[in-house]
Structure 1
Amino acid sequence: MTLPSTSAPPHAVRHARAWRSGVLRLTAVGAAALVTACANVQLPPWPGSAPQPQAARPATPPPAQPATGATAQPVVPGPQLTPLPYNPAIEARFPDPSVRYDTPGLNNPRQQFTTQAEMSSWLQALAARSQGSGTTLGLLNIGSSQHGTPIQALVATRADNIQASSLNSSGRPTALLVAQQHGDEPAGAEALLVIARELAPGGLLAPLLQQINVVVVPRANPDGAATASHLTADGTDLAHDHLLLSTPEARALATLVRDYRPAAVVDLHEYAAAGQFLQKYQAVQSYDALLQYASTANAHEFVTKAAREWYVQPVRSALSQAGLSNEWFYRTSAQPDDKSVSMASLVPDTLANTSSLKNAAALFVSSRGSDLGATHIQRRVHTLVTAATSALRATAEKARNLNQVEEFVARDVSSLACRQQLTVQAEQTPEQRSIAMLQAGTGAEQQARLDWNSSLQIKASQTRARPCGYLISAEARQAVERLRQLGLQVQQIAEPGQVLADSYQEARHAGSSAALVLTRGSLDAPAGSYYLSLNQPKAHLATAALEPDTPYSYVSKGLIASTADIARVVATPSVVFDEDDD
């Protein structure tokens, strides 16, 4: 994209599909009406009198399983797969729940968790059991892992069928539950097998399908699960690949989210009880669950408020009522001398954070014990079943409100194109906070007051004016495909034109690193290049990917070759787009 001659005359264009130049803007009356409508969408704290969710039905057997070793029986205590990294006094603090879970991977005397074949058989049996019941359960192959293993999702609905169009037109919001993005975190997959069973006809959660649809992905990283590896087969951390989409696993989840448009997303994980925490503090983790709602720059305040008040509050209440201790998510760094802890990153590359930029209420819940093998597995599964159950009940309770918030936020985000400031990067707020930990030697609980980097209150560290959209070169076709998989509309320019845009220029100063500065001018928009308008509901996902001077942008990650391949369009363009390019 080079600067054209300023004497180039304007030309009439043939409208293969003319750019609709009117950026969605609210009149004073319309804005007031929307604000009033939004004010009527109450976002109160979750009532404390909500009943404790029932986690499972131990007296009801699971569906019949084919002869693949997937027959489920009541679980009795079995041998530990790994020794405890601390004394027995700590083990005694985490007794098994009264409910016993009976997924294939929890059978005695198992030496492995549910296999991929057993999981598929379990889900297929649930789908078969639902036929003719009025409730439809269906299995989707949403993609394949790097080793060719199918990644499966179970859809539970009372719509006519399990197709995305059917769910999206049902008038009921969809909740998405995802587990085992990290292969060494098995409790989430086992928990979602329980949740899937309870969504089937006769299950405790089946009545919720009168108000909501549910999509369950028990194992997002089957290759990692097969080897108990934290990462995918090529060494990627799937949990941080939801913006770049470099892995087929991330692309499968992105396509699922794009097509099924969940209003709520719950991401289940596990965290290490000992590890670096034991090395730094000579103590082990004490909480059954750590949780956090999505927190990233430019997430709409109503989406954040819904996640905090409609999900986190009732989930924490349900965990506490079940006798399961919980705290905000935190972790410590790999630096031995750094005794601070930080909440989850603000980077928009996690499932929760990207989902919030897609205007879904999103949270993740992490149970204690990714480093414990099968130790405390019943309690770990119980923790995640309790949390997931509460989240589904919350979605059903707030189904109508979620639809109202989604509609308002979509219009509000779209209306911001070409105006106001955009947060390019944000940072956590430093605080101090007391957390409970267990002394490694005695098991005694102690309170430690630590430096705490909070993601609950974030502040902008870099801002600039929000553009109308982005001009992207034809050479960046792969980046365009990723943006479309994220659910963004990107249009290809059919005829050469010109746009008023800011291009990025690198400026170097003595003794400092290079910085980007913006240079405004009239730029060529060649045929075959692309335009991404910010007049769309997921606009802030585009800015996360395309503002080049962040460590996670498509330019920084090499998906877009250089800053010369992108420009910030600052006035609504009048160009012709290709109708056939999607």
Structure 2
Amino acid sequence: MKCFSRTVVSVLLPCVLSGLVFPSVSLAKYDPTKDYQEIPAIVKQFPAPSLIELGTPAFDKDKTDFTSQQEMEKFINDLSKTSGTLRVKQIGLSQQGKSISLLVFSGSQTASPEVLLKNGKPTVLIIALQHGNEPAPGEAALAYAKSLAEGKEGDVLTRVNVLIMPRANPDGAESFSRDLANGINLNRDHLLLSTPESRAIAQVFIQYQPDVVLDSHEYSVAGRWVEKFGAVQRYDAMLQQATTNNLPARLTKMMDKPFREGIVSTFETNGLSHSWYYTTDKLDKQDKTLSMGGIEADTLRNIAGLRNSVSFLLENRGVGLGKAHFARRVYTQFLAMQTMVKVSAKNSADLLNNGQEIRHDIATQAGQGAIVVKGEMTPEKRTISMIDAKTADGIKVNADWRSALSIMPVITRTRPYAYLLAPTEKKAVQNLQALGIEVYQIVQPQKVKVQQYTLADRNESTKKDVTGSIGQKGNQMIQVTTRIDDRELDLSAGYYYIPLNQPLANLAIAALEPETQSSFVANGIISLPKVKTEKKKAKTKAKTQATNAEVALPVLPLYRLTERADISLVLVE
């Protein structure tokens, strides 16, 4: 099976999203009385940009809060009426029934993914407001859309297509809450796809296959930083590309240059300070370790990388500040969006060629070499700059640092040719298809040599990220330990076959290898049998002694095919 081309894949979602019922959590509106108040000497260090007119709803005269859903929809609809390059699509509904909009900019004046995939141009996807209490990226997305619609971005649309999702979490944005309406952190749901919002984003990836992705956020300025260091954060922007297991080296190289290099240059030219992205534990007030963004395959940044896109997270200085420095925050994001598109336009031929070669290379690696199932960040030391919260003096912090740029393997395995799922695992198959992964079904019974996952241990656990917590809800999981055993398997008709000679092979690996906290096994998408042991007493002629004998351990309904096999298959539609 070969599938290296940029083709449109239609996927039937495993459930009708509009019919789902999600438990709600308590939501509150934006309350300016809860904003952190910087001392005047700190405020002076972040002047507003000069000679810039952003022209979006949050900058209307006398407006004290942020752009509402209604204001945003009117703004983008007005843009579409006057622009020949913009088409607006509703790609889904939030849990509370709000529209999730996608702005499609194309010189061919169409929003059709079939047309865009064949117009010889790479596609850039900009996503904002995954977290509803981070308004600056959403406003920057509107400002950049306005600039594109008004023809102020030069000839970029002759060389690239641009997709903008200004509000990925409409419910959270409307209530000024970080998480989705049901309490799940959207930016940890891009592998499991448990919410309509994450599924809408996945459909954009499947249909348009973006070559470049920018995920825009804001980061906390005070709070735990003041508690731990007596200081506030000072960097205008923090940047990090995709950093997860099994990313192609060619992709990582391209993310570093020209993309990261281009964004950093833009910031420095415009007098904006910048750093690698980092954060610290929210729960442990004594832990001063700084960690880069995580290496789990759950965030948009990392999942986009596993989809073979150049992928970046950009966080500007903003959470907790309300509307303080808002123009500077929005302008920081605007410049990054503008730069990502310009760099993509300048390197459009390389983007397309490299993307084609990366997808080809991944597909041809099936059954060869090794994969990293689980890894850890590398401990280092790093000095960062902060601002004393009481004096406004600059301070240097020499901190323990966990780097995501170098991942230390913890569990490695051979790369299989394919995975096999038992006929009972229809839910897992539906989730794989929702990710855009091709799944086949076996039509003729036969015996094959496989590796089985013998379940050695399982424990109820809680998912955590580098901050110590993820979202209000959806954090329960089962941590498993498995042993790989060789065996012959009687394949009956109906078994599912997930080949790794497809471009999304590394995404399939992230979903199916059981040991990570985001895997389908850990999250109950693949059936999980229980571990049972019993004690038996044995007698010998010499003496009686107690011995522990382990009953045959249960096996996961998931297998690895490590040798080529001639199997009759049909694509699961």
* Normalised-by-shorter TM-score class: 0.7 to 0.9
Letter in 1 for 2:451: D
Give yes or no for the alignment of 1:330 onto 2:278: yes
Letter in 2 for 1:89: A
Q: Is the 8 A contact 1:94 1:376 kept in 2?
A: yes
Which of residues 532, 537, 561 in structure 2 aligns to 1:569? 561
Cα distance, 1:160 vs structure 2: 5.3
Letter in 2 for 1:309: K
Letter in 2 for 1:527: A
Give yes or no for the alignment of 1:151 onto 2:100: yes
Query: Partner of 1:197 in structure 2?
Result: 146
Provide Cα deviations, 1:129-166, integer angstroms capped at 9, x if missing partner.
124xxxx3111111111111111100000135211010
Cα distance, 1:80 vs structure 2: 6.6
Which of residues 321, 331, 353 in structure 1 aligns to 2:269? 321
Distance 2:238 2:88 in 1: 30
Distance 1:531 1:504 in 2: 16
Query: Partner of 2:211 in structure 1?
Result: 263
Distance 2:449 2:80 in 1: 54
Matches within 5 A, 1:17-36: none
Which of residues 120, 139, 145 in structure 1 aligns to 2:73? 120
Gaps of 5+ in 2: 5-30, 459-478, 529-554
Distance 1:83 1:329 in 2: 23
Letter in 1 for 2:394: E
Cα distance, 1:120 vs structure 2: 1.4
Distance 1:158 1:249 in 2: 28
Cα distance, 1:414 vs structure 2: 0.9
Query: Partner of 2:381 in structure 1?
Result: 432
Which of residues 435, 450, 457 in structure 2 aligns to 1:501? 450
Provide Cα deviations, 1:180-230, integer angstroms capped at 9, x if missing partner.
000000001100001111111x42225100000000000000011111111
Give yes or no for the alignment of 1:90 onto 2:42: yes
Distance 1:274 1:414 in 2: 46
Letter in 1 for 2:345: A
Which of residues 192, 214, 229 in structure 2 aligns to 1:244? 192
Provide Cα deviations, 1:485-534, integer angstroms capped at 9, x if missing partner.
2221111223333332111112369xxx9731111122133323311000
Query: Partner of 1:352 in structure 2?
Result: 301
Number of residue pairs aligned between Structure 1 and Structure 2: 499
Cα distance, 1:398 vs structure 2: 0.8
Q: Is the 8 A contact 1:167 1:213 kept in 2?
A: yes
Q: Is the 8 A contact 1:178 1:217 kept in 2?
A: yes
Flag the 1:504–1:108 CA change in 2: closer, same or farther, 3 A: same
Cα distance, 1:460 vs structure 2: 1.4
Which of residues 493, 518, 523 in structure 2 aligns to 1:527? 493
Q: Is the 8 A contact 1:492 1:531 kept in 2?
A: yes
Query: Partner of 1:341 in structure 2?
Result: 290
Equivalent position SS for 1:559: coil
Cα distance, 1:411 vs structure 2: 1.1
Letter in 2 for 1:565: P
Matches within 5 A, 1:289-304: 289-304=237-252
Equivalent position SS for 2:319: coil
Give yes or no for the alignment of 1:106 onto 2:72: no
Letter in 2 for 1:248: P
Give yes or no for the alignment of 1:278 onto 2:226: yes
Letter in 1 for 2:565: P
Distance 1:461 1:578 in 2: 36
Distance 1:112 1:277 in 2: 25
Give yes or no for the alignment of 1:177 onto 2:126: yes
Provide Cα deviations, 1:34-91, integer angstroms capped at 9, x if missing partner.
xxxxxxxxxxxxxxxxxxxxxxxxxxxxxxxxxxxxxxxxxxxxx9765543311111
Flag the 1:433–1:126 CA change in 2: closer, same or farther, 3 A: same
Matches within 5 A, 1:401-480: 401-480=350-429
Q: Is the 8 A contact 1:270 1:368 kept in 2?
A: yes
Equivalent position SS for 2:556: helix
Q: Which has the higher strand share?
A: 2
Which of residues 139, 145, 158 in structure 1 aligns to 2:88? 139
Distance 2:3 2:74 in 1: 50
Provide Cα deviations, 1:535-566, integer angstroms capped at 9, x if missing partner.
01110100011001112110001111126221
Matches within 5 A, 1:482-497: 482-497=431-446
Provide Cα deviations, 1:283-311, integer angstroms capped at 9, x if missing partner.
00000001111111100011111111121
Distance 1:140 1:474 in 2: 37
Cα distance, 1:573 vs structure 2: 3.1
Matches within 5 A, 1:52-67: none
Q: Is the 8 A contact 1:23 1:415 kept in 2?
A: no
Matches within 5 A, 1:203-222: 203-205=151-153, 207-222=155-170
CA RMSD of aligned residues (A): 1.9
Flag the 1:188–1:311 CA change in 2: closer, same or farther, 3 A: same
Cα distance, 1:445 vs structure 2: 0.6
Q: Is the 8 A contact 1:286 1:436 kept in 2?
A: yes
Flag the 1:441–1:110 CA change in 2: closer, same or farther, 3 A: same
Equivalent position SS for 1:565: strand
Equivalent position SS for 1:475: coil
